[in-house]
Structure 1
């Protein structure tokens, strides 16, 4: 037996027999979701063992590329497979992951825009929605990096296969978007980020209280994207693939991200206290002129209702703070610590 074949067998045994810690480092997911992903690809006929490579090895090579942003030549040294075999397996797994989109995530039938001819390093803009389980519920990839998010959203909402927002629901957006039906941005020219309410810098107006709570919801979005980029380094670094492949990679990584979260969070998902939201800057694209007056008034009504009920919120916070503190102590194994409910109580309570 050739030394190359011996190294290949040793490597495959490592994949089959590694523990969860080793699997997280190597495959970017624990053993259970990896095994079930391979089984799903097999049962749906999306991937099959070839004469030389198993499905496990094909998926392992793909995850090495997207998880560590490795070139095929580096993966060749690890798996001892030819560059042609690695390239073919990469394309097959990329296609197989995309075929799970109807089950794991929603994407438009036709990508809204294609990249048009720049010869330097490319960037793309991605429109995505996230639920409170940190899963991506809708993804539109492929817009050029210079496009403004509000323009992407306007185009997508005008399409028959675009984003679907149920009646009575809305998506939280940042200050660069217009206030319109189903789209809820914060108040402009008003304190927004949580760090601006630290200490005794309490909200002084209904608009500031609304912005503070709006900002706290943003942590969920930041955690979802943080986990995605932590797990799949190919999304956070300069890729080595053509632009059409980059678009498919965004969708595939979001689909696999949702798949993994079925087994709970892991080390790649940042904790809430570790998330530092990026500064949101109003890009000055003139979107304020298109604000919907009815929704502006509704947002103001909600802000006033929050302001009027803030005392009741503090009472509820006191009732739940003891239970949350106890759970935190059990989880962290430390002494007493301030709970999330208490922090919100202290930050929102105006001085007497």
Structure 2
């Protein structure tokens, strides 16, 4: 096992977990003790959070009566097994060799912790507040135009394993087996809401319809909205870009300038909507098991996504300057342009979901079309008045 006592802190240069040599520690308890008594970086590398956050999560799970010490394995070790698996994308056999327990013991505690976190996951997801997000308020490119925006909504697809006779609906347009996950994200990388388990062939609009009409539904504060792309259409509470309008993300001096209000609106809308990419990026970097095909029953795979997002939010609450959040927090134009293509074209939404019964009336739909136009016009007028000084 690589030494934990190397004096480093958990910086952004350490995105990938360090490989550990199985079998060096004499047992799981000793391994966990070495990690928790070592440098913070060692806990970050192995359990994907620092020691204080780890202990706080143990306390929450114990105080809620969801986990308890057993004769052989303390709660700290149970949580460590779970986090080590999802944080290193390891199979049970590899974890057996390190923790020195049987496969049955590893699997049992993995599922116990997963069920415990899932049981209180709603406690870790909170709707947006009433204040204007600082990421909007502090940026003249976004304020006051998006002052009523609370975040962004998008779907991401994670690999999934299902029985042969169930594979059809889970195959996406590329023929890959995927589950569709919808998330509402804040601009500071928190998840407001997560809906996992939809088939990979389901359209984003259909998944959004499910999120809005189910019992534990996605709620948008009155008078506020989330940013979405054109796959969702322009709906009350969800502001989308203009369709069929190309735009350039590089708006720096000497580069292409927007030609009209629609192109400018789409450009700034895309830069702000990038919050979902950054949130999912931090999630996948912390828990790479989500990027593979976990060898678990489908329901367990769905729970894994929800649990990972819940832990993500718990870490953000306890340590918002966590190294992975620092890595993915930057949302300014220059840094986002470095990772995004220079030219984007919003693809028209395919209206294969016209049969969906959204809880909106015609007047509300028309109001959001007018809202987008008014925001785009105000943004363009200010842009022109500034003599094309940059966006």
- TM-score normalised to structure 2 length: 0.72
SS of residue matched to 1:129: strand
Match of 1:265 in 2: 321
Matched residue of 1:133: which SS? coil
Of 47-56 and 289-298, deviating more is 289-298
Conserved? CA contact 2:228–2:239, under 8 Å: yes
- Give the equivalent residue in structure 2 for 1:12: 32
Inter-partner Cα distance in structure 1 for 2:60 and 2:214: 32
Q: What displacement does 1:268 show?
A: 2.5
Matched residue of 2:34: which SS? helix
- 1:51 is aligned, of 47, 62, 71, to 71
Which residue is 1:128 aligned to? Answer: 183
Deviation at 1:298, TM superposition (A): 2.1
- Calculate the TM-score normalised by the size of structure 1: 0.79
Matches of residues 35-74 of structure 1 in structure 2 within 5 Å? Answer: 35-74=55-94
Root-mean-square deviation (Å) = 2.9
Q: Report the Cα offset of residue 283 of structure 1.
A: 6.5
The corresponding residue for 1:233 is 288
Aligned residues: 309
Q: CA deviation at 1:201?
A: 0.7
> Could you tell me which residue of structure 2 aligns to residue 309 of structure 1?
382
Match of 1:84 in 2: 104
- Counterpart position of 2:8: none
Structure 1 partner of 2:166: 117
Counterpart CA distance in 1 for 2:116 and 2:42 is: 25
Please state how far the C-alpha of 1:224 moved relative to its aligned partner.
0.6
CA distance in 2, matches of 1:259, 1:99: 14
Show the counterpart of 1:322: none
Q: Distance in 1 between matches of 2:245 and 2:345?
A: 12
Q: 2:370 aligns with which of 297, 303, 310?
A: 297
Aligned to 1:32: 52
CA distance in 2, matches of 1:185, 1:174: 5
2:271 corresponds to: 216
Query: 1:192, 1:215 within 8 Å by CA — same for their partners in 2?
Result: no
Q: What are the residue-to-residue correspondences of 1:107-256 with 2, within 5 Å?
A: 117-118=166-167, 122-192=177-247, 194-195=249-250, 199-256=254-311
Deviation string for 1:38-89 (max 9, x for gaps)?
A: 1111111111110100101000000011111111111111111111111110
Secondary structure in 1 aligned to 2:301? helix
CA deviations 1:161-213 (Å, max 9, x no partner) are 32111211111001212112111110111134524778421122111111111
Deviation at 1:288, TM superposition (A): 10
The structure-2 alpha-carbon separation of the partners of 1:8 and 1:183, relative to structure 1 and needing over 3 Å to count, comes to closer
Alpha-carbon separation, structure 2, partners of 1:194 and 1:226: 20
The structure that is strand-richer by fraction is 2
Unaligned runs of 5+ in 1: 108-114, 316-344
Cα 1:9/1:249, change in 2 over 3 Å = closer
How much does 1:221 deviate? Answer: 1.6
Mean Cα deviation higher: 202-211 or 160-169: 160-169
1:276 to 336, 339, 346: 339
Between the aligned partners of 1:305 and 1:287, the Cα distance in structure 2 is 33
CA contact (8 A) 1:38 1:55 kept: yes
More deviation, 248-257/32-41: 32-41
- Asked if structure 2 preserves the Cα contact closer than 8 Å seen for 1:130 and 1:138, the reply is yes
Secondary structure in structure 2 of the residue aligned to 1:286: coil
Question: Residues of 1 paired with 2:186 and 2:25: CA distance?
Answer: 45
Q: More helix per residue: 1 or 2? A: 1
